């Protein structure tokens, strides 16, 4: 759908098209609210209801060094459409090779990134030279490339071409046509001045692809409006490639009249494609969740986010926290963890805002077991210790399972602190109470996952600590034995 902001009558260019009658083009700019008519400056001194030429200074680039914005000396150029079309030569081997060389920086099917590379290459490396006096000389694409190669060899630097605005427009069109694009050259004239510039066919204005490309250009170049012409007859958009801006889709050149050379119009026009690595720009908000058990301990689990007919699982870290950017909209959110039940909550994400959701997991009927930490050898009345690579004194600790429902247990997985070389231990040894032996010097919360014979899983956030046992052992006269060289007792994690 097109949107026009001006209350005035549309400002239409009358154009002369090769092989067709008169048609109307609408100069316009595109932003996040749609297509907008560009009106000429209001010379009456009253307020203007639409976007005017030059109204968006961020889109207007400085002209090329030494290049006038119009042809000098000023000439009427409307009679040159035949010469212009004949000069565009995408079939020429030299032209085709140069186009492929530039477009190879954005390989793949014909796409907008290739247009941007061609635009930048020409604009950054063009040498302006006027036409002969009294003659509007138009150079073919391949002739300009040959000339550029000679200049580049003599000056030992990169040169894309040399000549005036129509030579620049012809080479731009030739290179784009050579990689599958559709172009036209606008010959702007009237009031004793003239200018030529190329436009590339982007696609149908109602196409999501066309709008995505325009938004991609706005984001790439950091500009509010992307400029071009909208054809009223078939509702297509032609992107401005004039050298008077610093990027494709810059501000339009103002002229009272124009003729248009529709290049190679007997071929089917191909819309410009999206960049190969295109990522759709979507408005997003931030979803923040915390997941804890009934005692307030964080649960490392999964949050399930449902919306738009899809469910997305998001992993929660060991602190029980997630922050995830998601497209704006309404979502149903819940947490999922074996052995716990969670509510389902509804949350609305707004653009650039954070929505917080807290979950408390109610423990399901878990097996009646106890987790035991043992820091001493009660039979020998001793404590074993050694030192780790950092010089910390570490103690031999046994963690195991007991309790009335012990017979229901199939396996126990211990998740250790991330500083351990092997941060997980799985025990299926019921004969040794699913024990784990580790060497430790501090306390931490140890997630322990218990799997029962019927396949259910239950997670316990076990507060692993043993300092009090060491103090009791010291008071009780237990021996503290350096086990560094006692290989019969060294083992575990």
pLDDT tens-digit series, residues 42-76: 333 333 344 444 434 344 444 555 454 444 444 44
Nearest in space to 39 (alpha carbons), one of 47, 218, 16: 47
Identify which has the larger pLDDT, 6 or 343: 343
Q: Give mean pLDDT, residues 190-194.
A: 73
Please write the tens of the pLDDT for every residue from 418-438: 778 888 999 999 999 999 999
31-40, 51-60, 224-233, 333-342: the lowest-pLDDT one: 51-60
Binning the chain into helix, strand and coil, the percentages to the nearest 5 are 20, 35, 45
Q: How confident is the model at residue 454, as a pLDDT?
A: 82
The stretch 117-125 carries a mean pLDDT of: 96
pLDDT tens profile 340-352: 889 999 999 998 8
Name the token pair of 305.
Answer: 């986010």
**479-486 contact pairs (CB < 8 A, 24+):** 479/381, 479/382, 479/383, 480/382, 480/383, 480/385, 481/382, 481/383, 481/384, 481/385, 482/385, 482/386, 483/384, 483/385, 483/386, 483/396, 484/386, 484/387, 486/384
- Per-residue model confidence (pLDDT) at position 70: 47
Helix (H), strand (E) at residue 102: helix 93-103
- For 383, list phi and psi in degrees, rounded to 5: -125, 130
C-alpha distances in angstroms, 470 versus 380, 382, 437, 480, 488?
15, 10, 16, 9, 22
Confidence class for position 220, pLDDT limits 50, 70, 90: very high
pLDDT (tens digit, 9 = 90+) per residue, 371-405?
A: 999 999 999 999 999 988 888 899 999 999 999 99
Averaged pLDDT for residues 73-83: 58
Higher pLDDT, 289 or 57: 289
Look at residues 305, 352, 313, 358 and name the one whose alpha carbon lies nearest to residue 330: 305
Chosen CATH of 284-363 out of 1.10.1660.10, 2.40.30.10, 2.60.40.1120, 3.40.50.300: 2.60.40.1120
DSSP symbols for 278-314: ------EEEEEEEEEETTS-B---EEEEEETTEEEEE
pLDDT digits (tens, 9 = 90+) for 322-331: 999 998 899 9
- pLDDT digits 0-9 by tens, 209-218: 999 999 999 9
- pLDDT score for 491: 63
- Report how far residue 214's alpha carbon sits from residue 70's, in angstroms, rounded to the nearest whole number: 27
Give the chain's length. Answer: 493
Residue 283 has pLDDT above 60, yes or no: yes
Average pLDDT value for the chain: 84
Give residue 415's pLDDT: 93
Instruction: Report the distance separating Cα 242 and Cα 33, nearest Å.
Output: 24
Tell me, yes or no, if the two domains 284-363 and 370-482 fold the same way.
yes
Q: Which tokens sit at 470? A: 């060491």
Q: Do the strands 382-387 and 479-482 form a parallel or antiparallel pair, or are they unpaired?
A: parallel
Residue 268 pLDDT > 60 = yes
Model pLDDT, residue 76: 46
- In which band, very low, low, confident or very high, does the pLDDT at 33 lie, cut at 50, 70 and 90? confident
DSSP assignment string, 400-420 = EEESTTGGGEEEEEEE--TTS
Task: For residue range 469-488, list pLDDT tens digits in order.
Answer: 999 999 999 999 998 877 55
What is the CATH T-level fold of the domain 370-482, as seen in this structure?
Answer: Immunoglobulin-like (2.60.40)
DSSP β-bridge partners for residue 408: none
Which position has the higher pLDDT, 455 or 332? 332
The CATH classification number of 13-32+51-262 equals 3.10.620
Question: Quick one: how far is CA 363 from the chain centroid?
Answer: 40
Q: Give the residue-averaged pLDDT of 91-107.
A: 95
Query: How far is the CA of 268 from the CAs of 56, 92, 236, 271, 435, in angstroms?
Result: 34, 20, 14, 10, 75
End-to-end CA, the chain = 66
Q: Does residue 56 or residue 158 have the better pLDDT?
A: 158
User: Mean per-residue pLDDT for 267-285?
Assistant: 83
Residue % of the chain over a pLDDT of 90: 58
pLDDT of residue 281: 65
The domain limits of the chain are 13-32+51-262, 284-363, 370-482
């Amino acid at each position: 759908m097109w949107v026009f902001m001006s209350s005035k009558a549309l400002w239409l260019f009358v154009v002369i098209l090769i092989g067709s009658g008169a048609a109307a083009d609408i100069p316009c700019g595109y932003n996040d609210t749609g297509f907008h008519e560009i009106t000429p400056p209001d010379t009456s001194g009253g307020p203007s209801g639409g976007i005017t030429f030059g109204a968006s200074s961020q889109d207007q680039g400085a002209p090329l060094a030494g290049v006038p914005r119009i042809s000098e000396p000023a000439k009427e150029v409307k009679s040159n459409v035949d010469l212009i079309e004949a000069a565009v030569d995408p079939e020429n081997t030299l032209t085709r090779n140069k186009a492929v060389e530039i477009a190879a920086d954005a390989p793949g099917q014909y796409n907008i990134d290739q247009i941007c590379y061609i635009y930048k290459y020409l604009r950054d490396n063009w040498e302006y030279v006027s036409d002969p006096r009294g003659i509007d000389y138009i150079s073919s694409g391949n002739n300009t490339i040959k000339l550029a190669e000679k200049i580049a060899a003599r000056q030992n630097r990169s040169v894309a071409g040399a000549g005036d605005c129509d030579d620049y427009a012809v080479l731009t069109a030739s290179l784009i046509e050579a990689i599958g694009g559709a172009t036209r050259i606008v010959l702007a004239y009237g009031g004793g001045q003239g200018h030529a510039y190329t436009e590339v066919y982007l696609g149908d204005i109602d196409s999501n692809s066309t709008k995505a490309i325009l938004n991609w250009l706005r984001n790439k170049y950091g500009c509010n409006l992307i400029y071009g012409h909208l054809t009223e007859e078939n509702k297509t958009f032609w992107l401005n490639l004039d050298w008077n801006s610093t990027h494709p889709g810059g501000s339009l050149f103002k002229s009272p009249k124009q003729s248009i050379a529709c290049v190679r119009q007997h071929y089917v026009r191909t819309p410009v494609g999206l960049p190969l690595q295109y990522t759709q720009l979507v408005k997003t908000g931030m979803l923040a969740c915390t997941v804890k058990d009934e005692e307030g301990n964080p649960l490392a689990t999964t949050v399930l986010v449902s919306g738009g007919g899809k469910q997305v699982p998001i992993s929660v870290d060991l602190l029980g926290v997630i922050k995830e950017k998601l497209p704006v909209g309404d979502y149903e959110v819940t947490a999922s963890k074996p052995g716990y039940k969670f509510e389902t909550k509804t949350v609305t994400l707004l653009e650039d805002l954070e929505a917080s959701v807290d979950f408390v997991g109610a423990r399901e009927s878990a097996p009646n077991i106890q987790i035991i930490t043992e820091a001493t050898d009660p039979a020998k009345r001793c404590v074993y210790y050694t030192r780790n690579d950092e010089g910390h004194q570490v103690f031999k600790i046994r963690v195991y399972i007991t309790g009335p429902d012990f017979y229901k247990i199939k396996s126990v997985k211990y998740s250790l602190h991330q500083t351990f070389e092997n941060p997980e231990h799985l025990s299926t040894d019921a004969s040794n109470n699913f024990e784990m032996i580790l060497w430790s010097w501090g306390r931490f919360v140890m997630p322990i996952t218990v799997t029962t014979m019927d396949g259910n899983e239950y997670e316990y956030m076990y507060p692993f600590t043993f300092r009090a046992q060491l103090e009791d052992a010291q008071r009780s006269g237990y021996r503290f034995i350096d086990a560094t060289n006692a290989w019969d007792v060294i083992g575990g994690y």
